């Protein structure tokens, strides 16, 4: 044994094993990550491929056609787009101020001990399965709205066409909107709270030191600083409301009516698909349901991407947060 060789066979083997191990781990993790990409691609491709028959038959006028008649083989999406837009918008109008107020309470007002408890309870509200919320909606909330809230709204605000004659069953667009509100408030509230907590303390203290009241500080500092983030949170909530199928199917009643009043039964894109789960009559009907799913997919993707772009590009606090 004169000179120690620079690399012994053992070392060489270990080095090779190490490099090999690195490559293998890199490879399989990359495969995992790519499978997510492939999955999203497959979802888009498969849904577009299966809606093809309906698309070839009806083209883009499917979106504006009002009839859904499996017997005559005529299908159109307008009533469901109407139901989706109205239920989601009403839910958003109800939920946004509530959620922002809850976010402000949790970040600025709540005493230390209460903060964690109320925050967790709000998050638990988001954890309730939608089918349970729907069951509650159909058997408890619906009848309550039909017998108390809707008649009252009709009596006091009946001159606005939105509040037409109340329904007997409590199944309808309005009940669906209230259920959706309950579902999206905790989501938007949780994100808002995080945003508000991310506003630099110095800015808040500065405003207070200048003599602003707490509300003036919120309006002058917190809300402007988090505006884009709130917008993103609201859009995420909207995406959730648009895509919710189960709870809405349970409470919305089903129907193809288009009109001003919020109370009668209707259908959303998602609830129309869900209520056909026991199978469609013809190939064309199945394909038309897939066409509805494609519209829903497009809406979901747009809402999601817009929210992400806002969060990543225009949130001035993003970099400042720890």
Partner 1 sequence: MSRYRRRRLVNRTMEALATVAALLAVVVLAIVVVSVARRGGGAISWDLFTKPQALFGQPGGGIANALVGTALLVLLATAMAVPVGVLTAVYLTEFAPRRLALGIQVVLDVLAGLPTIVIGIFVYALLVIGHVQSGFAGAFALAIIMLPLVARATQEVLMLVPGTLREASLALGVRRWRTVVGIILPSSVGGILTGTVLAVARAAGETAPLLFTSSIFANTVQTDVTKALPNIPVLIFTYSEQPDPALHEQAWAAALVLMAFVLIASLAAKAFFYRSRKKLTG
Cα–Cα distance measured from residue 200 to residue 317, given in angstroms and rounded to the nearest whole number: 9
Q: Are 88 and 241 in contact (CB under 8 A)?
A: yes
Q: Does 125 bind partner 1 (CB under 8 A)?
A: yes
Which C-beta is closer to partner 1: that of 150 or that of 244? 244
With respect to partner 1, which residue has the nearer C-beta, 193 or 261? 193
Question: In terms of CB distance, is 30 or 160 closer to partner 1?
Answer: 30
In this chain, which stretch among 46-54, 69-77, 151-159, 162-170 interacts with partner 1, using CB under 8 A?
Answer: 46-54
Can you tell me which of 1, 4, 36, 71 binds partner 1, judged by CB under 8 A?
36
Among 12, 63, 89, 131, binds partner 1 (CB under 8 A): 131
Residue placing its CB nearer to partner 1 in the complex, 153 or 289: 289
Site for partner 1 (CB under 8 A): which residue of 18, 224, 259, 316? 18
**The only residue of 109, 157, 210, 258 in contact with partner 1, by rule CB under 8 A:** 109
- Site residues (CB under 8 A) for partner 1, limited to 282-311: 289-290, 293, 296-297, 300-301, 303-305, 307-308
Give the DSSP H/E element, type plus range, for residue 87: helix 78-104
For partner 1, the binding residue among 12, 277, 282, 321 (CB under 8 A) is 277
Q: Which of residues 212-251 bind partner 1 (CB under 8 A)?
A: 213-216, 218, 236, 239-240, 242-246, 249-250
Query: Rounded to the nearest whole angstrom, what is the least distance from the CB of residue 100 to partner 1 in the complex?
Result: 8
160/156 Cα distance (integer angstroms): 9
Give, as ranges, the residues between 168 and 207 that touch partner 1 (CB under 8 A): 182, 185-186, 189
Within residues 67-106, the interface with partner 1 by CB under 8 A covers: 97-98, 101-102, 104-106
The candidate with the shortest Cα–Cα distance to 291, out of 91, 110, 94, 80, is 80
- DSSP of 184-234: HHHHHHHHHHHHHHHS-HHHHHHHHHTT--HHHHIIIIIHHHHHHHHHHHH
The window from 3-11, 28-36, 62-70, 259-267 that contacts partner 1 (CB under 8 A) reads 28-36
For residues 82 and 261, which CB has a smaller minimum distance to partner 1 in the complex? 82
> Helix or strand or coil: residue 313?
helix
CB-nearer residue toward partner 1: 65 or 123: 123
In angstroms, the CA 201 to CA 297 distance is 40
Query: Which H or E element spans position 92?
Result: helix 78-104
User: What is 40-58 written as a DSSP string?
Assistant: HHHHHHHHHHHTHHHHHHH
* Minimum distance, C-beta of residue 2 to partner 1, in the bound complex (Å): 27
94 vs 317, beta carbon nearer partner 1: 94
Token pair, residue 193, equals 């709270």
Dump the DSSP string for 90-150.
HHHHHHHHHHHHHHHIIIIIS-HHHHHHHHHHHHHHHHS-HHHHHHHIIIIIHHHIIIIIH
Nearer to partner 1, 183 or 261 (CB): 183
SS3 assignment, position 129: coil
Contact indicator for 276, 187 with CB cutoff of 8 Å: no
- The 3-state DSSP class for residue 62 equals helix
Q: Can residue 140 be called a binding residue for partner 1 (CB under 8 A)?
A: yes
């Amino acid at each position: 044994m004169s000179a120690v060789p620079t690399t012994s066979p053992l070392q060489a083997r270990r080095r090779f094993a190490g490099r090999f191990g690195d490559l293998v781990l890199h490879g399989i993790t990359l495969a995992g990550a790519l499978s997510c990409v492939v999955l999203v691609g497959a979802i888009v491709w498969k849904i577009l491929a299966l809606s093809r028959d309906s698309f070839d038959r009806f083209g883009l006028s499917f979106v504006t056609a009002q009839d859904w008649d499996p017997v005559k083989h005529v299908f159109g999406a307008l009533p469901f787009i109407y139901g989706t837009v109205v239920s989601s918008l009403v839910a958003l109008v109800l939920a946004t101020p509530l959620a922002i107020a809850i976010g402000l309470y949790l970040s600025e007002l709540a005493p230390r001990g209460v903060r964690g408890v109320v925050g967790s309870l709000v998050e638990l509200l988001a954890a309730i399965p939608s089918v349970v919320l729907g069951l509650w909606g159909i058997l408890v909330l619906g009848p309550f709205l039909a017998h108390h809230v809707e008649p009252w709204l009709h009596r006091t605000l009946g001159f606005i066409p939105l509040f037409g004659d109340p329904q007997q069953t409590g199944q309808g667009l309005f009940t669906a909107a209230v259920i959706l509100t309950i579902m999206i408030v905790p989501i938007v509230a949780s994100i808002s709270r995080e945003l508000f907590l991310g506003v630099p303390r110095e800015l808040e203290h500065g405003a207070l030191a200048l003599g602003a009241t707490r509300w003036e500080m919120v309006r002058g500092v917190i809300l402007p600083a988090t505006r884009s983030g709130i917008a993103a949170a609201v859009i995420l909530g909207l995406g959730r409301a648009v895509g919710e199928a189960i709870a809405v199917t349970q409470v919305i009643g089903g129907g193809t009516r288009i009109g001003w009043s919020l109370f009668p039964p209707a259908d959303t894109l998602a609830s129309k698909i869900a209520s056909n789960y026991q199978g469609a009559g013809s190939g064309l009907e199945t394909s038309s349901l897939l066409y509805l799913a494609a519209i829903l997919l497009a809406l979901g993707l747009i809402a999601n991407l817009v929210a992400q772009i806002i969060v990543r590009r225009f949130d001035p606090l993003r970099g400042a947060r720890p």
